Amino acid sequence: MDRTVDAAPGIRLWAEERGPADAPPLLLIMGAQASGLGWPEEFTDLLATRHRVIRYDHRDTGRSTWAYDERPYPLAALAEDAVAVLDAFGAERAHVVGMSMGGTLAQLLVADRPERLRSATLIGTGALSATPWLRPDGTAVPVEDLPGPDPRLLELWSRPEPDDIGPEAELDRRVEHWRLLNGDRIPFDAAYFRALERGIVEHTGHHRAGTAHARADTAGLVRTERLARTDVPTLVVSAPAEPVYPLPHAQHLAQVIRGARLVEIPDMGHALPRPVHAPLAAAILAHTARAAAAR
């Protein structure tokens, strides 16, 4: 079942839910410029075996309002959008799973709105903390010295935004991006990602590429102290082939969030190809069950 959510003046979000109506709610938060349909159907259905799963389009993606140029906003406003979605679905407290920028937003919820969370799972993201990473030998590595994205991604991101190149050429461009995000361990299934993006284009109603989230103000996102004392049960997913936040970002994230657990999904990169669906869903479901038992 889908619906629209009035998140802020002039901002309406598309959202949907699936799974048993009486199951614990689980909110999926996608990455920058990514529609909620970036969470693949098969993966979402695995989570919906035990949860009322809610996914939604960020503003300036999918069927939600595209209005950044008229009404610019800070990136932190997207975390409040997530709370508005929970409110619209009557979810007083929910498990939250965030990927990439969605992991940034999930950390903001852990820090600023812990009363709304049953648990958090963070995938493919960096820590909102100024605390150094401690190597196994005890030496400290400043956050600014942690490794950055794969140079191939940096080169792709540095290219000028294309004019309207037509829907098929736009799909080619998106598949090229997914090829790099997928990492080098799981064989890349171009047809799978092309079908995923074709579905997103059909859902959105156009093939224009969005840029709003890359332009949004990112000032004031660090939450070092609040993450260090949180009581929200948090799972950090470690992806060995992660090209955006390569190791040891996941280990650092697990260190700076109080009580966080770390789980590795073999061969995973910064994408959700079919081979990671089952192990990633199993890890998330084990985490949410553990959090429920602890309560």
pLDDT value, residue 235 = 99
pLDDT value, residue 134 = 97
- Asked if 123 and 235 touch (Cβ cutoff 8 Å), the reply is no
State the DSSP string of 120-140: EEEES---S--PPEEPTTS-E
Strands (E), the chain: 2-8, 11-18, 25-29, 52-56, 94-99, 117-123, 133-134, 140-141, 234-238, 261-264
Pairing assessment for the beta strands 52-56 and 25-29 based on DSSP bridges: parallel
Q: What is the mean pLDDT of each run of 10 residues along the chain (295 residues)?
A: 94 98 98 98 98 98 97 97 98 98 98 98 98 96 98 94 85 97 98 98 94 96 98 98 98 98 98 98 98 91
Report how far residue 137's alpha carbon sits from residue 291's, in angstroms, rounded to the nearest whole number. Answer: 31
β partners of residue 234: 120
Pairing assessment for the beta strands 133-134 and 117-123 based on DSSP bridges: unpaired
Exposed, middle or buried: residue 199 (CB in 10 Å: 0-12, 13-18, 19+)? middle
Positive or negative, the CA dihedral 155, 222, 216, 26 is positive
Structural domains in the chain, sorted by start: 2-294 (3.40.50.1820)
Report how far residue 284's alpha carbon sits from residue 276's, in angstroms, rounded to the nearest whole number. Answer: 12
pLDDT value, residue 165 = 84
